[in-house]
Amino acid sequence: MVEKKSGLIGTYKYSAKKSRSLVFKSYVVISSMVGIFVIFLITLAGITWTANPVGTGPFREQILLGAILLGIMIPLVAPVFIVSRRQQKDRSTVRNEDFIGGSGYGYIVSLFIGLGIIDPNDHKLNWPLESVGLWIDSLPGSYGVVVVVLSIGMIVAIERKTRKLN
C-alpha cells in the first residue's frame, strides 16, 4: 500500500509509485529535475538583484521573480496533481496518464522554445536542425509567450478530455 500523500514531494512520490504509465513516471522525474533547475535559477536571480539594486523600489524585482516562478511552476506540477487526484479517486487509467504526461512534456518543450524566442540575442547554432533554430530565433518576442500559453491551454484541454473518458 502506498502511504498517504502530503505536500508537493509527497504528491510526486505518490503519483510515481501508484502510476502504471511509463510516460507519466518519466514525466514525474523530468518535471522534478526541471522544477529544481528553475527554482535554482530564480534563486540566483533573486540573489543577484538583491546584491545589485537598480533603484526601482524595495523588493520590486523579487515580486516579479516570484510571479515568474509561479507562472512556470504551476503548469509544470499540474499534471502530477491531476493524476494524483484521479488515483486517489480510482479514476485513473494508463491511457489517461499517458496523455497527461505527454501534455506535460509538451509544456516543457514549449517553455524552452518560448524562452528561445523571447531571448533577444542572436544565437549561433551548430546542429542538424540549424534552419529550424534560426527560424525560431527570428520570430518576434511576443510569440514566445503565445507558445507557452498555448501549451498551458493544451494541458487544460487534455485534462478535460481525459476526465470525460473515465
* 63-108 confidence digits (pLDDT tens): 778 888 888 999 999 999 999 999 888 888 999 999 999 999 999 9
Residues of the chain with pLDDT under 70: 1-5, 53-61, 165-166
pTM: 0.86
Query: By three-state DSSP, how is residue 166 classified?
Result: coil
Report the C-alpha gap between 165 and 163 in whole angstroms: 5
Which residues lie closer than 8 Å to 105 by C-beta, 6 or more apart? 23, 27, 30
Report the C-alpha gap between 36 and 106 in whole angstroms: 18
